């Protein structure tokens, strides 16, 4: 880097507001001090006015000697001092929130404890103001111009419970009142105290300070608090923006923060600016950082009217609290100006950016067709000077370079030159062996192949692409330089169809998903056998829809970090900027198998606002459905940077990561290796319904149709033997005489938004029959008894039909009883007999009618006399001889009685008299049963009383 420090302007001379730097005694002597005094006119004590700097280990008032040395230095060198900080949750002795330095009982929110902490706060502020008054009255010689009164009191996330405030020990004991109190105490001490110069008007500006004000959520909470303080007449003068940013923080976010801050009417201050490059550090990144500081300071200049000061949080990189994130400051450790300095103070001397790019593997013919290939729409073009842009693909033996040139006037010298290493390959506009040139309105496109030898992924080649327009040549690099192109994997690309209807985000695959395209996470980034996800993709309007199906038999969400839980990640680079480090609009969305959402770097509230999602456990894994706003980047024909990832966890640890596109595992830091989604036209959903006819195919009956989709606009056409029936366009159809003998079907046309119009025809009905005009129910006539003939009599039936009969006994068809007459046998005795008559005639609907039932009486059983014999003494065997029964064999059962009481178990035809029967008379009951006959019961006996044996 050139050493220009002697001729380069001091930073403070390039802006109209004070510029500060955070320091301690290391910057108050030697080359650091020289550099400081050249560029800055204000200092902030980086650490040594924080609460802990004023006390010794025993909690006694004992200001750190750094305080005096900073004040001496400021006073001696006419530097303004921005005090930092009176009230903070950090770098504050623990005893502040205990009973005392020797009694570690924590303070509660009891009235007594509150009062104690209030007094401690006021005493602290008064002591600070008294101590610092040694360097002069405020407003009359004292270097202190401002003080951060409270620092970082706003919560990082939404926190309705604390009204958006940080739940610090200050808040826990005092609630929100400590903030207003701190301002009142500071105002009294610095602006209306014993050490305030007579007549001075608020000589020490009182600031509130916080970080992430460039992020909308935090900023909203911060502004709510500030506007409340103002509304309550709290003596507050300024609003501080720390701006600990990074090169991926859009400078426009700082612009928005300052603009929003100005609306409060308060002074604005950039209190702690730094912007690390990311690691590893490189000269290329430091040059980019130079452009970043340039743009940031141009924004600060635009806000000069309300700007109290802009402070860099450190003088040299090695002294920065964020040095490990990549040299965040303006001067290096040798006190030399970095590009950042030139960006701020002398932008004309900012070095050219150092070019690096990736080339994805691929091959496109160096022909007119190749120049027109859609492949070149997939990535942003790199600039080859002001009027041309280019893109490359590589294969083992050549680099394909596509160049688009704005150059309306054809000139013999016009040409495209690709330099690989030190060799130039030139394709004249008039054409040549290397490739093809295709004219277009206002210019031309060219595609050429430059030879490579045995190129492999991972190789870096030195490249320049230059375009000659007449006498002028301009290129990707500054003249004489080349950029570094790294050869990487083939670009992952997917066409995403427009959704025919908006999917409902509920974790179910609605019909819209039948038209989606999909990608799978087949690249294993870490681990082995990791769960694979299939991600279905659709878009509509400004929304990308994703439905992930993850095959993972054991779902584990027990890990303490979201990325070590079973989860999917969706990376979206709206508009496919392929910027490298994240832009504000780039998002890394993580959704766990339980549906818990988290994000990678960036503004959380902003990202959350773009997402709607749902997750569900399913057999064999889980699904995640998401709708992601593409902000303004979406629409037909656009391309989006996209990657998807599955984190596979087991037992609380992440065991595998798989991605679709980026093979490097660094997608959470850089967008450059993500894949590309092209938003293309969609297809309509197929309709699969089958219309069905219900109702009987009989003249006079009405048929109806079912099975058509709900919510559709339906039109109908009824068909007779396949031909349209004129006028039959309703959902129902009443069969007419003309339909007799024909088959009916229906053609249904269904129209639903998002679905392809469909016309489907039902199956045909059976042949349509006529109906008898008159039928009748048969009557059973004749004497109803066994052996006597019964007749089924019918009255009118028209037209004349032939009849079939079936007789039934107790509802069961009697085998062979299929004539118009039937003679009941003993089998039917005691049952109810009915008859069904079926009248049929060709072309007519057969009709069956069943008669009323008739009961066939049982027959009477004739039985001969029943005899009881045997010795009537204990031990004797009595025997009953049943009478002969006619006409059939009967089933007989017995029950013996003693004195009329049934003898248990005595149920055979003989009975051996027991001792217990002595003196009793024995009888026996014989029951005769036979099918078709009434049961008969005969009692024989009694015997004489039973004698002893």
Active site (catalytic) residues: 152, 272
Q: By C-beta, is 272 or 407 nearer to ligand XIL?
A: 272
Residue 561: CB minimum distance to ligand XIL, A: 24
Contact assessment for residue 480 and residue 351, using Cβ atoms and an 8 Å cutoff: no
| φ, ψ dihedrals at 440, nearest 5° | -140, 170
Contact assessment for residue 394 and residue 359, using Cβ atoms and an 8 Å cutoff: yes
In which element (H, E) is residue 93 found? Answer: none
| φ, ψ dihedrals at 938, nearest 5° | -125, 135
Q: Give the span between the Cα atoms of 293 and 296, in whole angstroms.
A: 5
- Total binding residues toward ligand XIL, as defined by CB under 6 A: 6
Q: How many CB atoms lie within 10 A of CB 214?
A: 25
Q: By C-beta, is 321 or 584 nearer to ligand XIL?
A: 321
Closest residue to ligand XIL using C-beta atoms: 321
Q: By C-beta, is 46 or 469 nearer to ligand XIL?
A: 46
Q: By C-beta, is 66 or 552 nearer to ligand XIL?
A: 66
3-class DSSP state for residue 238?
Answer: strand
Residue 323: CB minimum distance to ligand XIL, A: 11
Q: By C-beta, is 314 or 530 nearer to ligand XIL?
A: 314
**What would the two tokens of residue 599 be?**
């994000």
Q: How many CB atoms lie within 10 A of CB 825?
A: 15
Verify binding: residue 242, ligand XIL, rule CB under 6 A: yes
Verify binding: residue 851, ligand XIL, rule CB under 6 A: no
Q: Give the span between the Cα atoms of 300 and 309, in whole angstroms.
A: 9
Look at residues 445, 371, 434 and name the one whose alpha carbon lies nearest to residue 407.
445
Q: By C-beta, is 151 or 834 nearer to ligand XIL?
A: 151
Q: Give the span between the Cα atoms of 917 and 921, in whole angstroms.
A: 8
Residue 150: CB minimum distance to ligand XIL, A: 11
Residue 281: CB minimum distance to ligand XIL, A: 19
Q: By C-beta, is 47 or 669 nearer to ligand XIL?
A: 47
Q: Which residue has the tokens 């500060």?
A: 20
Q: Give the span between the Cα atoms of 606 and 69, in whole angstroms.
A: 44
**What would the two tokens of residue 677 be?**
């989604």
3-class DSSP state for residue 882?
Answer: coil
**What would the two tokens of residue 52 be?**
């802990």
Considering only residues 141-160, where is the footprint of ligand XIL by CB under 6 A? 151
> How do 692-694 and 702-706 pair as beta strands?
antiparallel
Residue 244: CB minimum distance to ligand XIL, A: 6
Residues 6+ apart with CB under 8 A from 30: none
Residue 321: CB minimum distance to ligand XIL, A: 4
Q: By C-beta, is 253 or 898 nearer to ligand XIL?
A: 253
Residue 89: CB minimum distance to ligand XIL, A: 11
* Burial status of residue 506 (CB atoms within 10 A of its CB: 0-12, 13-18, 19 or more): exposed
Residue 320: CB minimum distance to ligand XIL, A: 8
Residue 27: CB minimum distance to ligand XIL, A: 13
Verify binding: residue 214, ligand XIL, rule CB under 6 A: no
> How do 910-912 and 922-929 pair as beta strands?
unpaired
Q: By C-beta, is 49 or 117 nearer to ligand XIL?
A: 49
Verify binding: residue 46, ligand XIL, rule CB under 6 A: yes
Q: By C-beta, is 27 or 272 nearer to ligand XIL?
A: 272
Q: How many CB atoms lie within 10 A of CB 257?
A: 26
3-class DSSP state for residue 221?
Answer: helix
Considering only residues 266-305, where is the footprint of ligand XIL by CB under 6 A? 272
Interface mask (CB under 6 A) for ligand XIL, residues 307-336, using x and -? --------------x---------------
Look at residues 679, 670, 344, 343 and name the one whose alpha carbon lies nearest to residue 496.
679
Q: What is the DSSP letter of 816?
A: T
Q: Give the span between the Cα atoms of 255 and 214, in whole angstroms.
A: 8
- Would you say how long the chain is, in residues? 949
Residue 53: CB minimum distance to ligand XIL, A: 11
Look at residues 587, 578, 601 and name the one whose alpha carbon lies nearest to residue 673.
578
Verify binding: residue 47, ligand XIL, rule CB under 6 A: yes
| φ, ψ dihedrals at 737, nearest 5° | -55, -30
**What would the two tokens of residue 654 be?**
């992440």
Residue 560: CB minimum distance to ligand XIL, A: 26
Query: Hey, which residues does 927 pair with through a beta bridge?
Result: 893, 937
Considering only residues 735-794, where is the footprint of ligand XIL by CB under 6 A? none
Tell me the longest C-alpha to C-alpha distance in the chain: 154
Contact assessment for residue 184 and residue 252, using Cβ atoms and an 8 Å cutoff: no
Q: By C-beta, is 242 or 289 nearer to ligand XIL?
A: 242
Interface positions with ligand XIL (CB under 6 A)? 46-47, 151, 242, 272, 321
């Amino acid at each position: 880097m050139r050493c220009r420090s002697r001729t380069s302007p001091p930073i403070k001379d390039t802006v109209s507001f004070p510029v500060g730097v955070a320091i301690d005694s290391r910057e108050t002597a030697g080359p650091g001090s020289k550099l400081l005094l050249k560029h800055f006119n204000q200092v902030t004590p980086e650490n040594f006015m924080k609460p802990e700097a004023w006390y010794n280990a025993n909690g006694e008032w004992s200001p750190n000697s750094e305080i005096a040395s900073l004040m001496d230095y400021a006073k001696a060198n006419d530097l303004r001092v921005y005090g930092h900080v009176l009230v903070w949750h950090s770098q504050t002795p623990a005893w502040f929130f205990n009973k005392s330095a020797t009694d570690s009982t924590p303070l509660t929110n009891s009235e007594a404890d509150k009062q104690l902490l209030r007094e401690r706060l006021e005493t602290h502020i008064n002591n600070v103001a008294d101590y610092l008054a040694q360097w002069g009255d405020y407003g009359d010689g004292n270097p202190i111009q401002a003080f951060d009164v409270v620092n970082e009191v706003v919560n990082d996330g939404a926190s309705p419970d604390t009204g958006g405030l940080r739940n610090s020990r200050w808040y826990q004991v005092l609630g929100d009142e400590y903030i207003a109190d701190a301002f009142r105490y500071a105002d009294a001490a610095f602006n209306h105290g014993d050490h305030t110069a007579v007549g001075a008007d608020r000589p020490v500006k009182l600031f509130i300070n916080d970080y992430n004000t460039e992020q909308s959520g935090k900023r909203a909470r911060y502004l709510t608090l500030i506007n409340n303080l103002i509304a309550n007449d709290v003596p507050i003068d300024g609003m501080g923006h720390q701006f600990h940013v990074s090169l991926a923080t859009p400078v426009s976010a700082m612009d928005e923060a300052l603009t929003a801050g100005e609306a409060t009417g308060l002074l604005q201050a950039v209190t702690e600016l730094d912007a690390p490059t990311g690691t590893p550090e490189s000269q290329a990144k430091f040059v980019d950082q130079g452009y970043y500081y340039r743009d940031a300071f141009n924004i600060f200049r635009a806000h000069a009217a309300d700007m109290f000061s802009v402070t860099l949080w450190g003088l040299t990189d090695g002294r920065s609290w964020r040095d490990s994130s990549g040299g965040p400051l303006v001067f290096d450790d040798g006190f030399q100006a970095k590009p950042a300095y030139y960006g701020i103070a002398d932008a004309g001397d900012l070095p050219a950016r150092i070019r690096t790019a990736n080339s994805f593997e691929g091959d496109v013919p160096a022909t007119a067709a190749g120049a027109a290939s859609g492949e070149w729409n997939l990535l942003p073009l790199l600039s080859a000077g002001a009027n041309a842009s280019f893109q490359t693909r590589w294969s083992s033996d050549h680099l394909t370079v596509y160049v688009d040139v704005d150059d309306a006037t054809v000139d013999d010298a016009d040409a495209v030159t690709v330099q690989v290493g030190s060799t130039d390959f030139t394709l004249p506009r008039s054409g040549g062996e290397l490739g093809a040139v295709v004219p277009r309105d206002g210019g031309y496109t060219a595609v050429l192949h430059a030879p490579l030898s045995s190129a492999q992924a991972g190789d870096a080649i030195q490249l320049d692409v230059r375009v000659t327009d007449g006498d002028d040549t301009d290129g990707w690099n500054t003249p004489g330089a080349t950029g570094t192109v790294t050869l990487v994997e083939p670009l992952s690309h997917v066409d995403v169809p427009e959704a025919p209807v908006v999917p409902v985000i509920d974790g179910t695959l609605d019909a819209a998903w039948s038209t989606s395209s999909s990608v799978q996470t087949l690249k294993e980034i870490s681990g082995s056998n990791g769960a694979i996800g299939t991600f279905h993709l659709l878009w509509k309007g400004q929304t990308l829809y994703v439905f992930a199906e993850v095959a993972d038999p054991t779902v584990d969400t027990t890990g303490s970090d979201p990325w070590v839980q079973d989860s999917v990640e969706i990376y979206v680079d709206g508009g496919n900027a392929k910027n490298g480090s994240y832009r504000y609009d780039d998002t890394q969305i993580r959704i766990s198998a339980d549906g818990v959402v988290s994000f990678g770097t960036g503004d959380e509230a902003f990202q959350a606002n773009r997402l709607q999602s749902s997750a569900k456990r399913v057999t064999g894994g889980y699904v995640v459905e998401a709708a992601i706003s593409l902000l303004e980047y979406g629409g037909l024909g656009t391309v989006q940077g996209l990657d998807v990832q599955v984190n596979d966890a087991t037992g609380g640890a992440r065991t595998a990561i798989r991605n679709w596109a980026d093979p490097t595992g660094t997608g959470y830091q850089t967008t450059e290796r993500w894949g590309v989604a092209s938003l293309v036209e969609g297809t309509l959903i197929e309709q699969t319904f089958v219309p069905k006819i219900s109702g009987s195919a009989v003249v006079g009956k009405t048929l109806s149709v079912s099975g058509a989709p709900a919510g559709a606009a339906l039109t109908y056409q009824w068909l007779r033997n396949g031909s349209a029936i004129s006028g039959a366009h309703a959902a129902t159809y009443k069969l007419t005489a003309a339909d007799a003998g024909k088959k009916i079907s229906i053609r249904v046309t269904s129209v639903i938004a998002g679905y392809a119009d469909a016309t489907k025809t039902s199956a045909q009905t059976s042949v349509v029959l006529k109906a008898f005009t008159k039928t009748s129910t048969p009557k059973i006539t004749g004497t109803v008894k066994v052996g006597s003939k019964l007749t089924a009599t019918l009255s009118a039936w028209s037209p004349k039909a032939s009849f079939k009969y079936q007789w039934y006994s107790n509802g069961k068809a009697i085998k062979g009883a299929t004539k118009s007459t039937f003679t009941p046998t003993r089998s039917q005795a005691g049952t109810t007999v009915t008859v069904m008559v079926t009248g049929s005639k060709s072309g007519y609907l057969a009709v069956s009618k069943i008669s009323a039932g008739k009961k066939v009486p049982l027959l009477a059983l004739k039985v001969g006399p029943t005899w009881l014999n045997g010795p009537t003494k204990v031990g004797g065997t009595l025997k009953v001889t049943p009478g002969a029964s006619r006409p059939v064999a009967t089933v007989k059962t017995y029950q013996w009685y003693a004195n009329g009481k049934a003898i248990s178990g005595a149920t055979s035809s003989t009975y051996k008299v027991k001792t217990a029967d002595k003196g009793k008379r024995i009888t026996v009951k014989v029951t005769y049963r036979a099918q078709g006959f009434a049961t008969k019961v005969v009692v024989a006996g009694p015997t004489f009383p039973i004698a002893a044996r």
